[in-house]
Amino acid sequence: MRAPTFDLTLLRTLVAIADTGSVTAAATRLAYTQSTVSMQLKRLESQLDMVLHEREGRRVRFTPEGQRLLAHARRLLALNDDAWADMQARQVTGELKLGIPEDYATLLPSVFTYFHQLYPAVGLEVICGTSADLVARAKRTELDLALVTRQRNSPGGEVIRREPLIWAVGVHQQPSLSDPIPLALYSPGADVFREIAEQALQAAGRDWRVAYTSQSMAGLAPIVTAGLAVVVVTRSMLTPLLRPLDENSGLPPLPSIELALHRAPHRPSEPARRLGELIREQLAAAVNL
């Protein structure tokens, strides 16, 4: 006698109903007809010989037995999906080049770890540079992907996250905020942060001086933490040694910047497509676009 076995298709329908709250919404999610969803739910009840749900108008409420099965269904489907992804991942091979500004590398450690676990046969090379340079290299197909700050003179790419810019100073020491304000800025052309900061100060009628320049935050941080300059960063770039300034500082508010994912113009390779999906999921999950 064969041991009874759950049909994962029926369990997936059960979970879809639970997640959406109705047969109609579940049908839309699964690309089924409503009658198919209803039939699959009844079939599951028939196999178990128990009532799993009750109707409340158009809504579906699960009985205690339905709730118990739902918990099992989620675990079984998760295990199935993990196994399927693992078997498929082992078939993905190749080389992949990702360009990213040094300041954004801290956003992706978990993505790199997970990507390597899923696709150990893919050789990933991460190349740091300025946003403008990385976009140009992606257009020349020197990079498969480039995660950058969207530049005003080179739009495009897929916007996957928006972050407000803020003024920041050293956590223990800060300069005088009277004019001219000492600024630690990116080198000209390195990113839009400098342009945005200067335009905001000019519009507010404030005067400033450039105290220090660098291609990355790693170069700007020492003079800022020493209390000799103000810097412009996103919140994700704040470190324990930096303190954000609020509206009481007298400095003008700053707009948000957009993080965009650029792809080489040729059809993306399978490794590039999958890494792009992981980056999108990781960064978009933290901020509502």
- DSSP line for the chain: -PPP---HHHHHHHHHHHHHSBHHHHHHHHT--HHHHHHHHHHHHHHHTS--EEEETTEEEE-HHHHHHHHHHHHHHHHHHHHHHHHHHTT--EEEEEEE-GGGGGG-HHHHHHHHHH-TTEEEEEEE--HHHHHHHHHTTS-SEEEEEPBTTB--SEEEEEEEEEEEEESS-----SSSEEEEEEPTTS-HHHHHHHHHHHHTT--EEEEEEESSHHHHHHHHHTTS-EEEEEGGG--TTEEE--GGG-PPP--EEEEEEEE-SSPPPHHHHHHHHHHHHHHHTTS--
What confidence category does residue 150 fall into, taking pLDDT thresholds of 50, 70 and 90? confident
CB 200 within 8 A of CB 254: yes
> pLDDT by residue (tens digit) across 239-271?
899 999 988 899 999 999 999 999 999 888 889
Confidence of residue 89 (pLDDT cuts 50, 70, 90): low
What pLDDT, in 10s, does the model give residues 176-196?
999 999 999 988 877 789 999
* Mean of the per-residue pLDDT values of the chain: 88
Answer whether residue 1 shows pLDDT above 60. Answer: no
Instruction: Provide the pLDDT confidence category of residue 49 given band limits of 50, 70 and 90.
Output: very high
Q: Which residue has the higher pLDDT, 236 or 70?
A: 70
Q: Is the pLDDT of residue 95 over 60?
A: yes
Provide the pLDDT for residue 153. Answer: 66
